[in-house]
A and B are shown apart, each in its own frame.
Chain A
C-alpha cells in the first residue's frame, strides 16, 4: 500500500511569488491535513480537508489556502511569498472515524524563499 506522496520534495522561490504543493493521501483516506514546520515555531497546523471541505483551520494568514479534489488529493497554495514562509510543509492523511485516528505523514515539501 503506497504511503502519502508529496510533490515537489524541494523547491526554491523568490519573495512575492506563489507556490502550489501537492499531496496524494493513502488510498481510501479521505482526510488530509497540512502542517508547516520551521526550526523556530515547530510543527504548526495549517488546515484539514475532508470530502473536499475544509474541516479545521489553523492560525495562518489568508495567503495560505488549500483545496481537496474528489479523489482526495489535496493542494495547498501560498501566495505573495515571504522569507518567513521558508519551511518544511508536511501533509498527513487519516481514516476519519475509524481506527486509532492515526495520522500518516508524507516526507514533506521543503520550500526555500529567497
Chain B
C-alpha cells in the first residue's frame, strides 16, 4: 500500500506557484520521497526526489519538513502544460519498487 496521503485535487492559476502537499507521517529514516506526474494518457514522468534536504531542479523544488513527516512539491511558475496527476511516493532506496497512491489532480486555470 502507498505510504503517502495527498489531496485528491487542487487548482492553481497560470503563472503562479503551485504548492502540492504530501503527508508521509510513517516514513522511516532511510526512505526517500519521490515525485512523479502523469499527464493524461501518458506514462508517469519523474520530477524530483529527496531524503532530508530541500532539493531543486529545472522542473521543481522539493521542500521536506525537518521531521520528514511531510513535504511540498513546488512548481514555481505553473503553466497549462503542468495540468496532470502528481504522485508523491516513499521508497527505501533507489532500487526499491515504486508503489503509487491516488495522487493529486492539479488543474492549472488560465
Which A residues fall within an 8 A CB radius of B? 4, 33, 35, 42-45, 48, 56, 58, 90, 92, 96-97, 99-108
* Chain B residues with CB under 8 A of A97: 94-95
Q: How far is the CA of A44 from the CA of B99 in the complex (A)?
A: 7
Q: Top 3 closest A-B pairs, CB basis?
A: A101-B94, A105-B43, A43-B100
Q: Are A99 and B94 touching (Cβ within 8 A)?
A: yes
Pick from B46, B96, B99, B101: contact of A102, CB under 8 Å: B46
Nearest B residue to A88, CB-CB: B41
Q: Are B95 and A107 touching (Cβ within 8 A)?
A: no
Q: Are A35 and B94 touching (Cβ within 8 A)?
A: no
Q: How far is the CA of A103 from the CA of B101 in the complex (A)?
A: 16
Which B residues fall within an 8 A CB radius of A? 32, 34, 36, 38, 42-46, 49, 87, 91, 93-103
Q: Are B49 and A100 touching (Cβ within 8 A)?
A: yes
* Chain B residues with CB under 8 A of A106: 43
Q: Are B44 and A103 touching (Cβ within 8 A)?
A: yes
Q: Are A45 and B46 touching (Cβ within 8 A)?
A: no
A-B contact pairs, 8 of them (CB 8 A): A43-B44, A45-B98, A45-B99, A90-B44, A99-B94, A100-B49, A104-B46, A105-B42
Pick from A4, A42, A90, A96: contact of B95, CB under 8 Å: A96
- Further contacts, 9 of them, CB under 8 A, given A90-B44, A101-B34: A33-B98, A48-B97, A56-B97, A97-B95, A100-B94, A101-B94, A103-B46, A104-B46, A105-B44
Q: How far is the CA of A69 from the CA of B16 in the complex (A)?
A: 47
Q: How far is the CA of A45 from the CA of B91 in the complex (A)?
A: 13
Q: Are B43 and A90 touching (Cβ within 8 A)?
A: yes
Q: How far is the CA of A107 from the CA of B45 in the complex (A)?
A: 11
State how many angstroms separate the Cβ of A40 from the closest Cβ of chain B: 11
Q: Are A105 and B49 touching (Cβ within 8 A)?
A: no
* Chain A residues with CB under 8 A of B103: 42
* Chain A residues with CB under 8 A of B45: 105
